[in-house]
Amino acid sequence: MNTEKIIKAGKIASEVRAYAKKIVEKGMPLLEIAENIEGKIVELGGKPAFPVNLSINNIAAHYTPEHDDKTLAHGLLKVDFGVHVNGWIADTAFSVDLENSEENKKLIEASEKALDSALTLIKNGVSTSEIGESISKKIESLGFSPVMNLSGHEMDEYELHTGISIPNVNDGKSIEIKSGLYAVEPFATNGSGRVKDGRPSGIYELISNRNVRNSIAREILEFIEKEYYNLPFCSRWIIKKFGTKAIFGLRQLEESGNLHQFNQLIEISGSKVSQAEHTILVEKKDVKIVTA
């Protein structure tokens, strides 16, 4: 673990979160919000660890604007972004109510309070199911349900999801938390508490660097390998670099098994979802909330 770089990524993430809370407003194009946030990360000396996710209402996660996206911010908006410094990641998220809805505000409070209760528990030696249980109990005590099939995760250098999961319910697995870097991210919903795959998101990750014949596909593959390694990226970023001919190249790379494209994640009953997330560095005898 490179503590110094993790702390730096966390400080940038925290500053960017404050900036994002200030600029996001109803009616603003999601494309503009994403580009402003990603630009701010770079301005402060980091790089986006993945494309900014701006998921509205019943879309729980994995919505990032397309290069020509016209969607305007509205409803219950989740802003989820990551910063990396030389591959060391800080992952954080918050939710915002853009329609002055009491229910949205309560849902947002539920995921925030659940995150707080998980953060008071997490340390070396605590089990993942204890954390999951504290999250679900808190959300249920406020009248909502946790999203059971979404979870927090361990991270490592250039690895956004690796190692163990941090569940949002008691999953009975009781894995002991050890020193490491973790993202805790409760999701609260007024629906049934599960997500299913939705439409393709335009968010990809590299899964194989096997050779491809097509020249634009090969050019894109080389760029991804040296720019993003194993971290997620999106078609918007690739189109910005290569122009719209990149759409064909990305399709080729997906068909050849070089890239995996994530789907949007949609609440199964079509209900609203809120999210709160922080990154935590668990050390032998200490715990640091790096994105606080």
Please state the closest distance from residue 123 (CB atom) to Mn ion, in A.
Answer: 19
- Burial (CB count <10 Å: 0-12, 13-18, 19+), residue 265: buried
In DSSP notation, 167-195 reads ESS--S--PBP-SEEEEE--EEESS-S-E
Q: Is 38 in the site for Mn ion (CB under 5 A)?
A: no
Q: Is 12 in the site for Mn ion (CB under 5 A)?
A: no
Q: Which of residues 92-131 bind Mn ion (CB under 5 A)?
A: 93
Q: Is 80 in the site for Mn ion (CB under 5 A)?
A: yes
Active-site position among 80, 112, 154, 205 = 80
Name which of 18 and 284 has its Cβ closer to Mn ion: 18
Name which of 89 and 110 has its Cβ closer to Mn ion: 89
Q: Is 286 a catalytic residue?
A: no
Name which of 166 and 220 has its Cβ closer to Mn ion: 166
Active-site position among 38, 91, 97, 267 = 91
Q: Which range in 109-117, 142-150, 175-183, 261-269 contacts Mn ion by CB under 5 A?
A: 175-183
Q: How many chain residues interact with Mn ion (CB under 5 A)?
A: 5
Of 185, 168, 265, 252, give the one whose Cα is nearest residue 217: 252
Name which of 38 and 221 has its Cβ closer to Mn ion: 38
Q: Is 185 a catalytic residue?
A: yes
Q: Which range in 4-12, 70-78, 91-99, 258-266 contacts Mn ion by CB under 5 A?
A: 91-99
Please state the closest distance from residue 61 (CB atom) to Mn ion, in A.
Answer: 8
Name which of 118 and 221 has its Cβ closer to Mn ion: 118
In this structure, what token pair is assigned to residue 158?
């250039």
Contact 139, 145 (CB under 8 A): yes
In this structure, what token pair is assigned to residue 131?
């954390």
Q: Is 153 a catalytic residue?
A: yes
Query: Assign residue 174 a region: left if phi > 0, alpha if psi is -120 to 50, beta otherwise?
Result: left
Q: Is 156 a catalytic residue?
A: no
Please state the closest distance from residue 161 (CB atom) to Mn ion, in A.
Answer: 8
Residue 39: partners with Cβ closer than 8 Å, 6 or more residues away: none
Q: Which range in 3-11, 183-191, 195-203, 283-291 contacts Mn ion by CB under 5 A?
A: 183-191
Among 38, 84, 88, 91, binds Mn ion (CB under 5 A): 91
Please state the closest distance from residue 54 (CB atom) to Mn ion, in A.
Answer: 12
**Packed helices 246-255 and 215-227: angle between N→C axes, nearest 10 degrees:** 80
Among 52, 147, 169, 183, binds Mn ion (CB under 5 A): 183
Q: 3-state class of 53 per DSSP?
A: strand
Please state the closest distance from residue 62 (CB atom) to Mn ion, in A.
Answer: 10
Q: Name the residues annotated as catalytic.
A: 80, 91, 153, 161, 185, 277
By CB under 5 A, name the binding residues for Mn ion.
80, 91, 93, 183, 277
